Amino acid sequence: MLSLIISIVALGAIIAFHEFGHFIIARLFGVGVIEYAIGMGPRIWSRVSGNTRYSLRAIPFGGYCMMLSEDIADQGKAEDGEAAAMSDIIVTKDEIIYEGRHFGKEEQFAVKPAWQRFLVILAGPVFNFLLAFVLAVIITAFTGIDRPVVREVEPGMPAASAGIEAGDTITALAAGRLSVRPQRIETARDIMLFMNVHQDVMAEGGPFSMYYLDENDGGARKTAELIPVYDEELGRNRLGFSYSGINEKAGSIGEILYYGWYDVRFNMRTSIESIRMLLTGKASTSDLMGPVRMVATMDESVDTAASYGLFEAVMTLLNLMVLISSSLGFMNLLPIPALDGGRLLFIFLEIITRGRIPKSFETRINWAGTLLLLGLMAFILFNDIIMLFR
């Protein structure tokens, strides 16, 4: 139960940090922030400070930073142009009053220069990457780096026949005879991702090209071509080697910082490959994971790690937070209406064309995007529940 609570709080912290990015840059540029909320649904706690309402809401998934906008101002305008009240909004000649809080009209998000609005929207994903980087640096400092080192080679298998031996360091991999640009390998995770992405090449019998440093030949750079062989017992093609699984301590602060940033890039690349695999049919919708399964996975992983000690539980939780925060930042940058990426696209078009996109058109596109996004969220939630029962 404790691990479940911790997992929910951790997911909430990731979302809160994303929204804090929007909030802090909005305030830096003088944009009025009406509410900074953690969670969705009815409020269970709130407080007004510095003209912003800070609130905690009942459903722990989600959050938002509500900025003063044209839409809010329009709700308080009377048809004859005089000051009028609708709900909690009053608009006068010089200010907008929301729930008794006074905002200058110059505090509206829409009246700010395009470059400022661009940075306000961009700040959310950037803060996700920043959080992931800080956590990844902490993990690397404490647990080290999973070097892409060959740990074991099975006699008579393709890797052994090609001359690869335990202790060799893999530097790059390529799949298929037409491969021109090999995939650079920096960690054992790169090998795992590469093999997952190219599982179709493995099933078809390869070939694979391995670039490595020969430990028994003074670290000489070598290349080997591997043709998978069919394993009757396992019922699949194999290359016959295992890799890493043992972390090595980072050699310097610079290496810790580098691999911290590398961890963020790796998770972004994983997100890109996941989308590509979904679009090409290499992965199915059952592989999609929403907030419910995220929390369930975090809960299960942390609970399992806790049996090995508090340190393992904390590192497992931080690793999952790095993965989720990196993925959230990347997904929000996709140019999809209603996401940060969609809003950034409209502002970018405004900057390069030097003309504002018609508000009515942008509103229709965002509403359509919102409906599609809500439909996708409902599908993912349903999928989460089904997969949990399975």
Interatomic CA distance for residues 331 and 137, integer angstroms? 22
pLDDT greater at residue 108 or residue 337: 108
* Joined tokens for residue 358: 């018609």
* Joined tokens for residue 217: 């030949």
pTM above 0.85, yes or no: no
DSSP 84-111: -EETTEEE-SSEEEETTEEEEGGG-GGG
DSSP, res 357: P
Distances (CA, A) of 53 to 42, 43, 50, 367: 14, 11, 8, 26
pLDDT tens for each residue of 343-382: 899 899 888 887 777 777 767 776 776 677 666 666 666 6
255 part of a folded domain: no
Residue 208 has pLDDT above 80, yes or no: yes
DSSP 207-273: -EEEEEEEGGGTTEEEEEEE--EEETTTTEEE--EEE--S-B--SSHHHHHHHHHHHHHHHHHHHHH
Among 170-179, 251-260, 293-302, which is the least confidently predicted range? 293-302
| Highest-confidence segment of 25-34, 84-93, 355-364 | 25-34
Among 128-132, 138-142, 325-329, 373-377, which is the least confidently predicted range? 373-377
The runs of H, that is alpha helices, within 281-356 are 291-306, 310-332, 340-353
pLDDT band at 258 (very low <50, low <70, confident <90, very high): very high
**Burial status of residue 253 (CB atoms within 10 A of its CB: 0-12, 13-18, 19 or more):** exposed
235 part of a folded domain: yes
160 part of a folded domain: yes
337 part of a folded domain: no
Domain membership of residue 207 as a residue range:
146-246
206 part of a folded domain: yes
Cis link prior to 207 (omega < 30° from 0)? yes
Residue 57 has pLDDT above 70, yes or no: yes
Interatomic CA distance for residues 227 and 209, integer angstroms? 9
Distances (CA, A) of 9 to 2, 12, 38, 61: 11, 5, 11, 10
pLDDT score for 82: 45
pLDDT score for 86: 45
Residue 385 has pLDDT above 50, yes or no: yes
Residue 298 has pLDDT above 80, yes or no: no
pLDDT band at 30 (very low <50, low <70, confident <90, very high): very high
pLDDT band at 136 (very low <50, low <70, confident <90, very high): very high
Mean pLDDT for 158-186 is: 85
228 part of a folded domain: yes
Residue 65 in 3-state DSSP? strand
Interatomic CA distance for residues 61 and 72, integer angstroms? 25
Distances (CA, A) of 166 to 215, 223, 228, 348: 8, 15, 19, 51
Mean pLDDT for 189-209 is: 86
Partner residues linked to 33 by β-bridges: 67
pLDDT score for 53: 94
Q: What is the CATH number of the domain that holds 164?
A: 2.30.42.10
pLDDT band at 98 (very low <50, low <70, confident <90, very high): confident
* Mean pLDDT of all residues belonging to the chain: 82
CB 231 within 8 A of CB 311: no
Residue 1 has pLDDT above 70, yes or no: no
Residue 135 has pLDDT above 70, yes or no: yes
pLDDT score for 78: 45
pLDDT band at 138 (very low <50, low <70, confident <90, very high): very high
Q: How many domains does the chain have?
A: 1
Q: Which residue has the tokens 């996004």?
A: 373
Among 77-91, 117-131, 218-232, 296-310, which is the least confidently predicted range? 77-91
pLDDT greater at residue 217 or residue 79: 217
Residues of the chain with pLDDT > 90: what percent? 32
Interatomic CA distance for residues 140 and 315, integer angstroms? 10
pLDDT score for 133: 96
229 part of a folded domain: yes
Residue 146 in 3-state DSSP? coil
Report the 3 state secondary structure along 106-139.
HHCHHHCCHHHHHHHHHHHHHHHHHHHHHHHHHH
Count of CB atoms within 10 A of residue 248's CB? Answer: 12
Residue 106 has pLDDT above 60, yes or no: yes
Which residue type is seen at 70?
E
CB 61 within 8 A of CB 296: no
Residue 289 has pLDDT above 50, yes or no: yes
Residues of the chain with pLDDT > 70: what percent? 81
318 part of a folded domain: no
pLDDT score for 292: 54
CB 65 within 8 A of CB 21: no
